Structure 1
Amino acid sequence: WLLQEQIMTLLGAEQALLPVIRSYWAPWLVAAWTGAMLYFGYAVCRSHGDTKLPGYLMIATSLLNIALDPLYIFVFGWGLPGAAWATITAFTIGALIVFPTLLRRGWIRFDLKQVRPVRSLRQLNSIMAPAMISQLMPPFASMLATALAAGFGSAAVAAWGLGTRLEFFSIVVVLALTMSMPPMIGRLLGAGELGQIQRLVGIAVRFILGWQLFIGLVWLASTGLVSRIFTQDPQVAPVVADYLVRVPLSYGPLGICMLMVSTCNALGMSLRALLISTLRLFACYLPMLWVGSQLGGLTGLMTGALAGNLLAGTMAWLVYRRGMRRLEKQPAA
């Protein structure tokens, strides 16, 4: 809240946009907190093997958010803050469903008499701290990438923002895998079935590569149509087209990188997951963005994103495999 103007200025926001950003900032922060609580509830469900309730609620809250957006923004006349309030409403309704369910099933409780706070916090921190840092890195890197795009003007920022939103929808299957596989991996790890874990991960990796290649080819084939549908700005449309021609082809390696992070966390190798996240962003993605922008301007920036994701996926797989070999040696030791 205190650094909103400094953050947006660093990201290249024009002075005329700052009043709009100020009106949106407070409800957006509330929406972020509400979403964090809801996703914590989802994680508790998945850790107990219930993937249906989080899945259904994610679909329901997303559809509710989409339905409320035009109502809050246009009908009620709340403008941009209305989008944040729509998200708050959807997330709150989801939380009112998931948390009573958790309490009823005895999966969470507030009786702390039998809990040793210091010991419990140490156990949590050993996994939570590296995982938290690895989760903070992508948005931080996204800010830096947006700042690089801002150097090419407001049209580049708009196109880059649209591209990253399309990326989210393109990798939704990968996101589902990163959330659904850790409980399965955890149970297999508890049973000592490392071979089964490797087979499961191998199947997921092959599926991600095939599926994301298909998605990338779909975006490639429909580049002109998509750029016309999502923007009427003659300056933004060509940049969006450049993005769709290049970046989606690297969503497969990007998906592998994301899956390896969640897999390593599920295997108790949280520091290795943090290493993958760090190398992906600061040794692969961001350096390639910078090199591409220096060599080829805005088009080079897109090519750099493609190359960075390819390098990151390869690196993540190698780091995971090395970690698995160490894990296999532990029982013998």
Structure 2
Amino acid sequence: MKDFTRGREWSQILGFALPMLLGNLFMQLYQFVDTAIVGRFVGKEALAAVGASTPVIFMTIALVVGMGIGASIVISQYFGMKRYDRVQATADTLTIFLAVAAVAVTVLGVLFSVPLLRLMKLPEEIVPMAAGYLKIYFGGSVFLFGFNSVSAVLRGVGDSKTPLYFLVVSAVLNVGLDLLFIVGLGWGVPGAAWATVIAQGAAFLLAVAYVNRKHTLLKFNLINPKFDGALFRQCLRMGLPSGLQQTFVAVGMVALMGVVNGFGTDVIAAYSAVNRIDTFVALPVMNFAAALTSFTGQNAGAGKWLRIRRGLRDTLWMSSGCVLVLNAVLILFGRSVLRIFTDDPAVLDAGYECLAVMNSTYLLFNLMFVINGMLRGAGATVFTMLITFVSLWLFRVPAAVFLSGVFGETGIWWAMPVGWAAGLAGSVAYFYSGRWRNRGVGRPDASSVAPPAEEGL
């Protein structure tokens, strides 16, 4: 557990972000390995199938993941208030909700995988592989939700290290199972799905066992947890906007995938590979933003608004530095990185073009995402939901449709910075309005403690 209401802002945020970053690095590493082994040992059609499955998975689980974000915000604010009884009760309530949601997602995912893939205009020869992958993945969604629940609760109380240890175990296990199932046994795309499900299950069970034995504040009661309706409504108020935000993004990914699918297997495979690479570039941004969300939540609970602004300033500097270094590396060596997935010239050409556009404009995404992370921690989750909807559905998706009609697949790539720029403009305007200072669980009146203009960020 960590108290973010005192100490140097940048060092606390960095110290909290690094374990999450390492943990997510391992998680993305095994997804990266999944895709690379499938592309190398099964073929570009299989690479396209796994890549096309990603937005469907995201769309199906997005609303539920948003509830986990909401619970984490509620926990962090109660932790900042020293209301430890509310922290445990929120964890119990989240456990019950996610258990029910996992069953629903499994049923819906298995029933509607094929219709969704066809709605996305996925080439018919790829549909059976993608559908098989999805059905196995959704069958193990209880493990995915379970581990996300443990991680969300621990982040809320300032513990980002514990999930890291089990993600490392999960990543190593996943890579070993990938090699066994795909290369050794020749299971193809289903082997990648089984490897992921088994690895997620191991991470979840180990994390629960460890927390229940070692943690001084939290226990995960998987047999008879207690549901608190009032706390659930608070989580819903914080989490539903975040869940809807995730859903907007997920449905937008499906819509964009539909545009990509219209350009054939080579472009689908290229887009799939780039998305895996993109996850590594986004990791520093997302983890710094997540750390800032917990930092902001505790300090909002304690009414320390100047401290929140300084935390935002420091986080923007740290995340921007990471992004600029990674962007430079991928602009210089992007084609070599793409060769990890395939040697097909058409796929490499399309993929490198996408990487070049993305990495030359990625700072826009970084600034938008970090500012929104702070706003979420303060409880302004409705605004971040709306700004995501506007940037994606009023700018990026229409731009992708229009520009792809004029410039081909190149237009899809340039639609990304269009959406990021629109979202950044809205987030900056809302931050300077100061309205985010009265959006927490206690709804403190912050007007009398608003920071003076000379504080800046």
Shift of 1:10: 1.9
Amino acid at match of 1:76: L
Amino acid at match of 1:131: S
Alpha-carbon spacing, 1:231–1:310, altered in 2? closer, same or farther (3 Å)? farther
Shift of 1:173: 1.2
CA contact (8 A) 2:288 2:319 kept: no
For residues 219 and 371 of structure 2, what CA distance do their matches in structure 1 show?
28
Question: Structure 1: 5+ residue runs without aligned partners?
Answer: none
Alpha-carbon spacing, 1:72–1:113, altered in 2? closer, same or farther (3 Å)? closer
Deviations 1:179-224 (A, max 9, x none): 3222222221122111111111111122222321222221111133
TM-score normalised to the size of structure 1?
A: 0.90
Deviations 1:87-123 (A, max 9, x none): 1121111112211233333514549999674323322
Amino acid at match of 2:323: Q
SS of the residue corresponding to residue 235 of structure 1 reads helix
Partner of 1:62: 171
Amino acid at match of 2:446: P
SS of the residue corresponding to residue 418 of structure 2 reads helix
For residues 222 and 253 of structure 1, what CA distance do their matches in structure 2 show?
22
CA contact (8 A) 2:305 2:437 kept: no
Alpha-carbon spacing, 1:219–1:110, altered in 2? closer, same or farther (3 Å)? closer
The structure 1 residue matched to 2:242, chosen from 115, 121, 131, is 131
Residue 252 (1) aligns with residue 367 (2): no
Alpha-carbon spacing, 1:156–1:200, altered in 2? closer, same or farther (3 Å)? same
Pairs within 5 Å for 1:134-283: 134-283=245-394
Residue 35 (1) aligns with residue 35 (2): no
Residue 24 (1) aligns with residue 133 (2): yes
The answer to which structure, 1 or 2, has the higher relative contact order (CA under 8 A, 6+ apart) is: 2
Alpha-carbon spacing, 1:32–1:319, altered in 2? closer, same or farther (3 Å)? farther
For residues 224 and 112 of structure 2, what CA distance do their matches in structure 1 show?
40
Shift of 1:323: 4.4
Question: Aligned-residue CA RMSD in angstroms?
Answer: 2.6
The structure 2 residue matched to 1:312, chosen from 403, 406, 423, is 423
Percent identity of paired positions between Structure 1 and Structure 2: 22
CA contact (8 A) 2:270 2:350 kept: yes
Residue 330 (1) aligns with residue 448 (2): no
Residue 48 (1) aligns with residue 173 (2): no
Worse-matched range after superposition: 95-104 or 34-43: 95-104
Alpha-carbon spacing, 1:179–1:101, altered in 2? closer, same or farther (3 Å)? farther
For residues 150 and 360 of structure 2, what CA distance do their matches in structure 1 show?
34
Amino acid at match of 1:241: Y
Alpha-carbon spacing, 1:295–1:131, altered in 2? closer, same or farther (3 Å)? same
TM-score normalised to the size of structure 2?
A: 0.67
Alpha-carbon spacing, 1:112–1:83, altered in 2? closer, same or farther (3 Å)? closer
Alpha-carbon spacing, 1:151–1:15, altered in 2? closer, same or farther (3 Å)? closer
Alpha-carbon spacing, 1:254–1:132, altered in 2? closer, same or farther (3 Å)? same
For residues 5 and 111 of structure 1, what CA distance do their matches in structure 2 show?
33
Partner of 1:11: 120
For residues 296 and 353 of structure 2, what CA distance do their matches in structure 1 show?
39
Worse-matched range after superposition: 150-159 or 251-260: 251-260
Shift of 1:83: 1.0
Question: Structure 2: 5+ residue runs without aligned partners?
Answer: 1-109, 449-457
Amino acid at match of 1:77: G
